[in-house]
Amino acid sequence: MAKGRGFAGGFEMRRRVILLGPPGSGKGTIAARLKTEFGFEHFSTGHLLRQEVAKDSAVGRQVGLFLERGELVPDELVLALVESTLAKSRPEQGYLSDGFPRTLVQASAFDAWSGTRGLAIEQVIYCESSEELVLSRITGRRSCVACGHVYHALFVPPKTVGRCDECGGGLAQRADDSEAVVRRRFQVYLRETEPLVAYYKDQENLTVVDASQSLEKIMARIEVMLRQ
């Protein structure tokens, strides 16, 4: 595939990027680092959906139960949300997705949407992680209720306990981060989302990252990969 290039920090870099991997594999943390270090436009469908629930919007009322149970929200709703989100941003300058696509239907719909606009995905980063690692990470995870920035009590603590470094919002544990729901989300991931690894491998734009490594090692590898 021809690689279009954006520009970041004086060096060329791939700017249309998908983060793929199970819940708790570090996608949100990686996305936040790519945003602060290289100015990526980041979106997380999980965060967007939680915002809809918090607003008690029409979409929020439809999706609340799916989120609580750790099940996937229907494809049509997610695709409409992603399209309206990208329409409000500047996808031609790049996009960084955390948590989308999550099904083959979403992946092929996004390929069609992005392909017709000359905005095809340039890099899929697959954060490979075991169920046990995911569980140990998620129990320490805290997210900003206002902006969605993700912290970890041990690995990525905020500067002030309970407060977001980015916006000063309060930090909380997500309702769906309990062990039982995380185990269910992992099963849903294996069934619905893991097939995307083969899908993107076939498109030759997938790179595997070992999510058990330190964040610094992972970021160094990702930076090299995005500049290739």
Torsion of CA 125, 17, 199, 120, to 10 degrees: -160
Asked whether 94 and 7 are in contact (CB, 8 A), the reply is: no
Closest distance of CB 67 from ligand AMP, Å: 5
Task: Report 106-125 residues binding ligand AMP (CB under 6 A).
Answer: 106
How many amino acids of this chain bind ligand AMP (CB under 6 A)?
Answer: 19
221 is catalytic: no
Residues 6 or more apart whose CB falls under 8 angstroms from that of 94 comprise 6, 15, 16, 17, 40, 41
Q: In what order do the strands lie in the sheet with 123-128?
A: 42-44, 95-98, 16-20, 123-128, 206-210
Asked whether 68 and 40 are in contact (CB, 8 A), the reply is: no
Catalytic residue among 33, 137, 141, 142: 141
| Interaction between residue 46 and ligand AMP (CB under 6 A) | yes
Backbone phi and psi for residue 170, each to the nearest 5 degrees, phi listed first: -75, 150
Selected from 38, 100, 110, 186, the binder of ligand AMP by CB under 6 A is: 100
Q: Is 172 or 220 the residue whose CB approaches ligand AMP more closely?
A: 172
Q: Is 46 or 91 the residue whose CB approaches ligand AMP more closely?
A: 46
Q: Which residues pair with 170 in a beta bridge?
A: 163
Q: Residue 141: CA atoms inside 13 Å, Cβ hemisphere, count? A: 26
Catalytic residue among 27, 50, 137, 142: 27
Q: Which stretch binds ligand AMP (CB under 6 A): 10-18, 62-70, 86-94, 119-127?
A: 62-70
The helix-helix angle for 75-88 and 45-55 (nearest 10°) equals 100
| Interaction between residue 85 and ligand AMP (CB under 6 A) | no
3 is catalytic: no
Q: Is 68 or 210 the residue whose CB approaches ligand AMP more closely?
A: 68
Residues that bind ligand AMP (CB under 6 A): 23, 44-46, 49, 66-67, 70-73, 78, 99-102, 106, 176, 185
Residues identified as active-site:
27, 102, 141, 174, 185
